[in-house]
Chains A and B, each alone.
Chain A
Amino acid sequence: MDTAITILLDGLVFSSYLFIVSVGLTIIFGVMKILNVTHGSFYAWGAYTAAFLIGVAANAGWPDWAGFGIIFFSAIVVGLVLGLILERGILQFMYHRDEVLIVLATFGTFLVLEDVILLVFGVNPYFAFQPMALLGSVQLGGIARDTYGLTLIGLAVVVAAACWLTLKRTRWGKLLSAVIYDREVSVAMGLNVTRVYIVTFTLGAMFGALGGAYIAPTVSVAPGFGIDVIVLSFAVVVIGGMGSVPGAMIGALAVGLVRALAVHKFPQFELFVIYAVMATVLVFRPEGLFAPVKVRKI
């Protein structure tokens, strides 16, 4: 029983992390049809900024709980600054180009931002353990669990609910849905697609940065931090269906739970299972589990 509870909790924690880091990627793809490799940079910059500021706050004698405010502040600032710079500075000039070229442009930007991280933060890792240490641990399923890790589940629920409410219950969400459904018709109906793109890209960048900032207190934030997350996010988004927020949630849950089961029961297959899930889904549903309906144009 303890093992079952532990697998479930481990799976949910990892799924929550995956959902938070991949939701921005899927929103940007859904609206803008861009596979944004720079998402890994948003994640890394979020982590570095949060870790750096938490360290500064700790040295200045701020209480440990201030770290939580810093995490959200870092995500917003990084998302706003990097999102706006990239969308207005690079992507807006490429919307009419081939999708492959746009992917290459985001890949190039990712490499540049990786080097800028080295210039700004140096090569030494950053530690921002205060928020995790503050929350301590709780006994669940017969073992100690770090409370901070469990809060990831709550954060993922909040992010998912906010996305759902925004898309389904607000005017802005309906505008987004219209652009996702058909960009050309949206433009013809007088919708300001440029503004939708700016807001969407900035929002996606904030989610990417939030994933990095929230995970920063649990890890050593070091150069190369944003590379793996692109691959993982991509796997989640492909499983769920590119551009679908519910798909990202289901994809994250599938990957997280299957991986937790593998680590506990068949650890030698840990590296393999994520991509096995992806390959299986692609065999039976090449468009992913929840891909938005594509309009057939005549």
Chain B
Amino acid sequence: MRQLRKLAIPVLVAAALVPALPAQAADTVKMSVVAFLSGPAAGPFGVPSRNGAEVIIAAINDGKLPAPYNTKGLAGRTIEAEYLDENGGNTKQVAEYRNMVEKRGVDVALGYISSGTCAALTPVAEELKKLTVFAVCGTPRIFEDAKPQYVFRTMSHATSDNVAAALYVKEHFPKITSYTAINQNYAWGQDSWRDFDATMSLITKAKPSEKLQWPKIFQGQYATEISALLLDKAELIHTSLWDGDLESFVFQGDTRGLFKKKKVIFTVAETSVYRLGKRMPDGLIVGARGPYGAIVRDNPSELNKWFIDAYKDRFGQYPSGPAYQYAQAVLAVKVAYDAAAQKAGGFPTQDQVIAALRGATFESFATTVKMNLGGGHQATTENGYGITKWDPKAGELKLEKVKFYPADCVNPPEGENSVEWIKGGMKGAKC
């Protein structure tokens, strides 16, 4: 009897608390924001990503975004965000994802920078039937190898980065006759080179070098690779290096005159424009993986000006590409919730939110985002490049000769595989 009494007390307390939980949860939308918060990718990618998400989530909760997004919360409910570290590999991320969905009951999983992690999470998101919005990761395979129903990506995939890179080279450096590359030896680097090389072969007569450099990710030291690139007769170097690897390569290459001797096109180096400033040499061809960061700093849209001001007020610096890309993912979720609520006449279910985001078109900071690939789950935007130039008067590194290529020009049409589209002559491209 005494034991029964002992058991009864916690059971009664638990029973008393249970009705309170749904009431609290009903007021908020729980969102997990996942980015690299430790490891080599944290500084250039993860921290700006989290910061960008923080800025826009705060504004959404306060209803302070510029019109037409100036309603409070997601369909009226406050976003309850948790920020998680993407570092630690795919196995850890899959386990963490299951925890956040099954144990903590999040409503939206958002973020992810690594292509490998996105590929690993997609089947898990489908299994758990949870709305998952990828913000940055680049591999086109997510929506080309499968047709996920619960997964979205709110920026263009990596093919557009490399098609745009080749178009920029052809337009601005038409006399280039040969090119080589240094890319990290894993899916991101290999896919980037494959798309760039295929596009260059299609639209120019330039020939690729036989000796391409494939350093290990996070290698950091490139003395030998830089020697090989300097001895190579190729005039242009393509690279998709990112994180600390990118910045180490810039330091080491600059000291050895690599950037004076060769033209180098960096598909992701916008992330370092604000961070390195004057230490980044003039004349580098730099991409931002779309209309984000330094490449759209002068874009006059009200939303863009608001984002730059809000970010600078909060963090004392300009937002780089990853900050934009995460903020854009959050914005997409707001667009979907608000549209679904309007259609449903009340707070929407997950299926209604997914239906609203599928195939949606919305105005972002400096572009129009169209969810028009992968059955309406994969976004496309224009993609562009610029060339670094130190501005001594402003005391800032700026990008000049910025050129954007339309989304319909640098992305394959719906239903087509990226590689086959390029190799097949980029049919349907509207450049």
Which residues of A come within 8 Å of B, CB atoms? 2-3, 6, 9-11, 13-14, 17, 118, 123-125, 127, 129, 132-133, 136-137, 142-146, 148-149, 215, 218-225, 227-228, 259-260, 263-265, 267-268, 270-271
Judged by a CB distance under 8 angstroms, whether B255 is at the interface is yes
Contact partner, B256, options A9, A143, A224, A264, Cβ 8 Å: A143
Contact partner, A222, options B213, B224, B230, B243, Cβ 8 Å: B243
Chain B nearest CB, measured from A10 CB (Å): 4
Q: Which residues of A contact B185 (CB under 8 A)?
A: 270-271
User: CA–CA, A221 to B251, complex, Å?
Assistant: 12
Q: Which residues of A contact B231 (CB under 8 A)?
A: 2-3, 6, 142-143, 264
Are the CB atoms of B224 and A259 closer together than 8 Å? Answer: yes
Are the CB atoms of B39 and A137 closer together than 8 Å? Answer: no
Q: Which residues of A contact B224 (CB under 8 A)?
A: 10-11, 13-14, 259-260, 263-264
Q: 12 new A-B pairs (CB below 8 Å) besides A218-B221, A268-B214?
A: A13-B224, A124-B47, A133-B255, A136-B255, A143-B231, A146-B255, A149-B223, A220-B248, A224-B39, A228-B219, A260-B224, A267-B228
Taking CB atoms and an 8 Å cut-off, the chain B residues in 210-238 that contact chain A are 211-216, 218-221, 223-225, 227-228, 230-231
Judged by a CB distance under 8 angstroms, whether B111 is at the interface is no
Given known pairs A6-B227, A146-B223, A224-B218, the reply for A219 and B256 (CB within 8 Å) is no
Q: Which residues of B contact A9 (CB under 8 A)?
A: 227
Are the CB atoms of A218 and B42 closer together than 8 Å? Answer: no
Taking CB atoms and an 8 Å cut-off, the chain B residues in 254-282 that contact chain A are 255-257, 276, 279
Judged by a CB distance under 8 angstroms, whether B376 is at the interface is no
Judged by a CB distance under 8 angstroms, whether B37 is at the interface is yes
User: CA–CA, A3 to B228, complex, Å?
Assistant: 9
User: CA–CA, A39 to B334, complex, Å?
Assistant: 48
Chain A nearest CB, measured from B193 CB (Å): 12
Which residues of B come within 8 Å of A, CB atoms? 37-40, 42-44, 46-47, 87, 185, 211-216, 218-221, 223-225, 227-228, 230-231, 243-245, 247-248, 251-252, 255-257, 276, 279
Q: Which residues of A contact B219 (CB under 8 A)?
A: 228
Contact partner, B40, options A143, A145, A224, Cβ 8 Å: A224
User: CA–CA, A218 to B44, complex, Å?
Assistant: 18
Are the CB atoms of A222 and B214 closer together than 8 Å? Answer: no
Q: Which residues of A contact B221 (CB under 8 A)?
A: 14, 17, 215, 218-219
A-B CB pair tally, cutoff 8 Å? 130
Nearest-neighbor residue (CB-CB) of A114 within chain B: B38
Given known pairs A215-B221, A228-B218, the reply for A267 and B213 (CB within 8 Å) is yes
User: CA–CA, A145 to B255, complex, Å?
Assistant: 8
A-B pairs with lowest CB-CB distance, top 8: A123-B42, A222-B244, A220-B247, A220-B244, A124-B43, A10-B224, A143-B230, A222-B40
User: CA–CA, A127 to B231, complex, Å?
Assistant: 27
User: CA–CA, A270 to B222, complex, Å?
Assistant: 12
User: CA–CA, A127 to B244, complex, Å?
Assistant: 10
Main secondary structure of the interface of B (DSSP, over half): helix
Chain A nearest CB, measured from B14 CB (Å): 35
User: CA–CA, A149 to B224, complex, Å?
Assistant: 11
Chain B nearest CB, measured from A192 CB (Å): 40
Chain A nearest CB, measured from B40 CB (Å): 4
Q: Which residues of A contact B279 (CB under 8 A)?
A: 127, 129
Chain A nearest CB, measured from B250 CB (Å): 9
Given known pairs A219-B220, A224-B39, the reply for A263 and B256 (CB within 8 Å) is no
Are the CB atoms of B251 and A14 closer together than 8 Å? Answer: no
Are the CB atoms of A223 and B40 closer together than 8 Å? Answer: yes
Given known pairs A118-B38, A219-B244, the reply for A137 and B257 (CB within 8 Å) is yes
Are the CB atoms of B251 and A132 closer together than 8 Å? Answer: yes
Are the CB atoms of B244 and A218 closer together than 8 Å? Answer: no
User: CA–CA, A217 to B35, complex, Å?
Assistant: 28
Are the CB atoms of B251 and A218 closer together than 8 Å? Answer: yes
User: CA–CA, A14 to B225, complex, Å?
Assistant: 11
> Counting chain A CB atoms within 10 Å of each CB, which of B211, B223, B227, B251 scores highest?
B227
Q: Which residues of B contact A10 (CB under 8 A)?
A: 223-224, 227
22 A–B contact pairs at CB < 8 A?
Answer: A13-B223, A14-B223, A118-B38, A124-B47, A125-B244, A127-B247, A132-B255, A136-B255, A137-B255, A145-B227, A220-B248, A222-B43, A228-B216, A228-B218, A228-B220, A259-B224, A260-B224, A267-B213, A267-B228, A268-B212, A270-B214, A270-B215
User: CA–CA, A225 to B44, complex, Å?
Assistant: 15
Given known pairs A143-B256, A267-B213, the reply for A220 and B230 (CB within 8 Å) is no
Q: Which residues of A contact B47 (CB under 8 A)?
A: 123-124
Q: Which residues of A contact B211 (CB under 8 A)?
A: 264-265, 267
Chain B nearest CB, measured from A132 CB (Å): 6
Are the CB atoms of B255 and A263 closer together than 8 Å? Answer: no
Nearest-neighbor residue (CB-CB) of B250 within chain A: A220
Are the CB atoms of A129 and B256 closer together than 8 Å? Answer: no
User: CA–CA, A264 to B40, complex, Å?
Assistant: 27
Contact partner, B44, options A2, A125, A136, A264, Cβ 8 Å: A125
> Counting chain B CB atoms within 10 Å of each CB, which of A127, A224, A268 scores highest?
A224
User: CA–CA, A133 to B250, complex, Å?
Assistant: 13
User: CA–CA, A221 to B230, complex, Å?
Assistant: 25
Are the CB atoms of A220 and B251 closer together than 8 Å? Answer: yes
Q: Which residues of A contact B243 (CB under 8 A)?
A: 222
User: CA–CA, A155 to B251, complex, Å?
Assistant: 21
Are the CB atoms of A123 and B214 closer together than 8 Å? Answer: no
Are the CB atoms of A146 and B220 closer together than 8 Å? Answer: no
Nearest-neighbor residue (CB-CB) of B229 within chain A: A143
User: CA–CA, A136 to B248, complex, Å?
Assistant: 16
User: CA–CA, A140 to B244, complex, Å?
Assistant: 28
Q: Which residues of B contact A264 (CB under 8 A)?
A: 211, 224, 227-228, 231
Nearest-neighbor residue (CB-CB) of A129 within chain B: B251
User: CA–CA, A202 to B230, complex, Å?
Assistant: 41
Nearest-neighbor residue (CB-CB) of B46 within chain A: A123
> Counting chain A CB atoms within 10 Å of each CB, which of B185, B225, B228 scores highest?
B228
Are the CB atoms of A123 and B38 closer together than 8 Å? Answer: yes
Chain A nearest CB, measured from B46 CB (Å): 7
Chain A nearest CB, measured from B385 CB (Å): 23
Given known pairs A144-B230, A222-B42, the reply for A263 and B37 (CB within 8 Å) is no
User: CA–CA, A149 to B248, complex, Å?
Assistant: 14
Chain B nearest CB, measured from A267 CB (Å): 5
Q: Which residues of B contact A137 (CB under 8 A)?
A: 255-257
Q: Which residues of A contact B244 (CB under 8 A)?
A: 125, 219-222
